[in-house]
Chains A and B, each alone.
Chain A
């Protein structure tokens, strides 16, 4: 009996833990599948009957959603690729060169509020005429992607045994070749993890696009936020848009759960 009560209590606590997440996501889905009448009904209608895809159609038809999706893909894609290109060798250099001070700089960069980069960069982009361009956003998103990638790669390269590279160098490989053909393939899981986390945090970023994005270069989060202020608030399309914005990130989370957990415990953590 006592064991039964304990077990029941345990499952109750699992239920309590998971339900806030379930509630919010299900409500999001529910709002996005209901017509406007049901969305503003009180008491609320929980199950869409009949479910309608009209909100999703509206999102694409009325809000230039396609353009903003493409902007997000360009900005995040660009910032992640450049971040990997620059960050992976840097992680190697720091790990092998034991450049701890540089590592601390990366950590401080990760702790600094994103807004504090924005004022100088905003002025800089104004002077150079880059405000409102995709290029400016890609450059700014490097503030997010590089620290995550470098930090994670340091951890991975520190775990690649030095002996293998030493052996290759005895066989006549240069430092570059030892990196390229020995260390890099072994650190591939780290590159995947770093890339995924950089993708998530860059995709989710809001503030950079609010300040630097123009009407045509906005990324999805700020575009959806703006649709809130410029139109009559209609919950259905807004919920549909919100769901579409966060869907890629949630899918990646589900697919790459294991890598993400590994990466976060390796110190990737979140950006600001």
Chain B
């Protein structure tokens, strides 16, 4: 499989209109997809529709359901905790997209070059992405310990005072972002590396003749050419950062107080702590709309960036 196939397949699937135009659904292939259609209908589409239905109900587990129309959404609009969780999500997401994109692109430029032990070092670099988030989060929790944690000790070695890490409302989100960056920078690296592998040689040769330096070549040749790949990475990172759950849940459960309570944590607590099923379903609907809208926006930006590239 060539590395360019990701953007290709995404591009094919991206604009529904364009894809449908070339549609030639041959009935004899229906049967192959039938089992998957049935399973997906049961475990994916049914939950979507049921969630939509429940979002209009005032439904607590143990109590009865009552139709409230858009009442849950109206209540959410006034729910301070919900609004704050949106803010936390935005803060977390912006950092957890921008930083991995910058580091991941830089890492891709490094791993694109030949050097001794490249394969081994790349494997090590990629491992965080595969590691079980819960297991790693437990280790981070120990490392963040204010008195006994290794991170504060390492800081003290370079003359920096101890940080409260996840125990201070001001530092908790940046600290959680650090864990997220640790996990997902490799994914960005792999995607951009795929883009670099397909770059043509010629522009660089003529640029060298023209006396361009490394920065110029990166800025004016490499970056525009791999930009579509970076856009794909941005789309994926945005969706994944919005959905981030495991690390936050294990390390802080949304605390201290509600300082790191993102939309997803808020949703979990409403549904499975307070059992407010209708209310939580309304959150899911909002969540879903945000994700779809952002994805469409980013995919649109990607389509445009292809023209500019």
Contact = CB atoms under 8 A, between A and B. Distances in A.
Given A98-B23, A113-B291, A22 B124 contact: yes
Q: Classify the interface of chain B: helix, strand, loop or mixed.
A: helix
Given A27-B143, A97-B29, A269-B236, A108 B292 contact: yes
B43 A139 contact: yes
Contact of B245 (A10, A90, A151, A207): A207
B287 to A, nearest CB: 6
Contacts of B25: 97-99
B132 A246 contact: yes
Chain A, interface size category, equals 35 or more
Interface string A216-252: 0000111011001000000100110111011001101
B1 A159 contact: yes
Given A14-B115, A116-B288, A250-B131, A265 B23 contact: no
B1 A104 contact: no
A245 B40 contact: no
A25 B110 CA distance: 22
Contact of A17 (B45, B110, B268, B295): B110
A14 to B, nearest CB: 6
Interface string B46-87: 111011001000000000000000000000000000000000
Contact of B33 (A17, A89, A262): A89
A176 B44 CA distance: 27
Contacts of A100: 12-13, 16, 19-20, 22-23
Interface in B107-160: 107, 110, 113, 115, 119, 121, 123-136, 138-140, 142-143, 147-148, 150, 153
Interface string A163-174: 000000000000
Contacts of A108: 292
A42 interface: yes
B33 A93 contact: yes
A118 B134 contact: no
A207 B33 contact: no
A102 B34 CA distance: 11
Contacts of A25: 127, 131
Contacts of B218: none
A235 B142 contact: yes
A68 interface: no
28 contacts: A17-B107, A24-B139, A25-B127, A43-B153, A92-B29, A93-B33, A98-B26, A100-B22, A103-B13, A113-B264, A113-B267, A122-B272, A151-B9, A155-B5, A155-B9, A159-B5, A206-B245, A207-B245, A221-B134, A242-B134, A246-B131, A246-B135, A246-B136, A253-B126, A257-B119, A261-B190, A264-B187, A269-B236
Interface of A: 10-11, 13-14, 17-18, 20-22, 24-25, 27-28, 31, 40-44, 85-87, 89-90, 92-94, 96-109, 111-123, 139-140, 142-143, 146, 150-151, 154-156, 158-159, 175, 179, 189-190, 193, 200, 203-204, 206-207, 211, 220-222, 224-225, 228, 235, 238-239, 241-243, 245-246, 249-250, 252-254, 257, 260-267, 269-270, 272
Given A115-B271, A118-B271, A204-B132, 12 more contacts: A17-B106, A42-B148, A94-B29, A104-B13, A107-B10, A120-B47, A120-B51, A121-B47, A140-B43, A146-B36, A200-B130, A264-B187
Interface of B: 1, 3, 5-6, 9-10, 12-13, 16, 19-20, 22-37, 39-40, 43-48, 50-51, 54, 103, 106-107, 110, 113, 115, 119, 121, 123-136, 138-140, 142-143, 147-148, 150, 153, 182, 187, 190-191, 194, 236, 239-240, 242-243, 245-246, 249-250, 264, 267-268, 271-272, 277, 280-281, 284, 287-288, 291-292, 295
